[in-house]
Amino acid sequence: MKKKMISLLLILALCLGMTISVSAGDTGGFANEYCRVQDQAELMTYSEKAELNDMLDELSVRQKMEVVVVTTNTLDGKTAEEYADDTYDYGNFGYGADKDGILLLVSVGEENICCISTCGYGITAFTDDGIEYILKEMKGDLHDEKYFAAFQTFVNLCDKFITQARSGEPFGGKSLPREPLSPIWILISLGVGVVLSLIIVGRMKAQLKTVRFQTTAGSYVKDGSLDITESRDMFLYETISKTKKEKKSSSGGSSTHTSSSGRTHGGGSSKF
């Protein structure tokens, strides 16, 4: 009991200190009264929570977009989507009048599931394809219980996705981030290419063994098959027509739903 009380006091002190520092720097943009890290399932150490909260504070302020991480071991009879939306709405998270932001929920215990809820400009910045991509990138670490590593991946990808969206073309569809190809696969590709080239050249060379040198080309022409009496090339005119090719957006867009508070959210979920 004594250890639990000390742990609770430390968490409260951490949240109080972070709330004061965030409020001092976010005047006018953010209205939340809670830490951006809500580790109710106690999946991280005290130092990891502090580091993650600093990362979320810096990212949220710089990008003018609320980024929140929540963990829990009970959904209180709600779906993961409902729990994530309600936490965002009733925690008063979000930047500006449209409550721009994104919240990651990780639920353990009842079922291992992670869920993303977006709001305001977050719905634009994080398309359905983008959310699926982010969840997939975290899945391995979440399955291996490397929660802090998964949350670091979430923060880094959020920064990348928001920056891309600000450029006018959110990640989605075929434009999703791609990891650089491993050097091992590059070597394998080169090796396969060399082997296939040798096989093809070898077959072509084998087919040329019956060819013999000829001093004239007369033997290739059938008698009486060629009779050219006149040849002429005439150029009349040239017409060039151009049609503008419309640029299609590579983003698949975002589906939305309405939360219990009546606010519009986007998002998605995945088990791990």
pLDDT tens-place string over residues 15-29: 555 444 444 344 459
How many helices (H) does the chain have, and how many strands (E)? 7, 6
Q: Are 14 and 50 in contact (CB under 8 A)?
A: yes
Q: Where are the alpha helices (DSSP H) in 44-127?
A: 46-63, 80-90, 121-125
pLDDT at 173: 84
pLDDT at 137: 98
Q: Are 261 and 86 in contact (CB under 8 A)?
A: yes
Tens digits of per-residue pLDDT, 26-71?
Answer: 445 998 889 999 999 999 999 999 999 999 999 999 999 999 999 9
CB burial class (10 A; 0-12, 13-18, 19+) of residue 250? middle
Q: Degrees (nearest 5) of the Cα angle 113, 118, 123? A: 130
3-state secondary structure of 168: coil
Q: Does the domain at residues 2-178+252-271 carry the CATH identifier 3.10.310.50?
A: yes
Domain assignments of the chain as residue spans, ordered by start: 2-178+252-271
pLDDT at 20: 44
Q: Are 263 and 118 in contact (CB under 8 A)?
A: no
Residue 236 Cα to chain centre, angstroms: 55
Consecutive H or E run containing 271: strand 264-271
pLDDT averages per 10-residue partition of the chain, 272 residues: 47 50 54 93 98 98 98 96 98 97 94 96 97 98 98 98 96 78 61 76 69 61 69 73 57 88 98 96
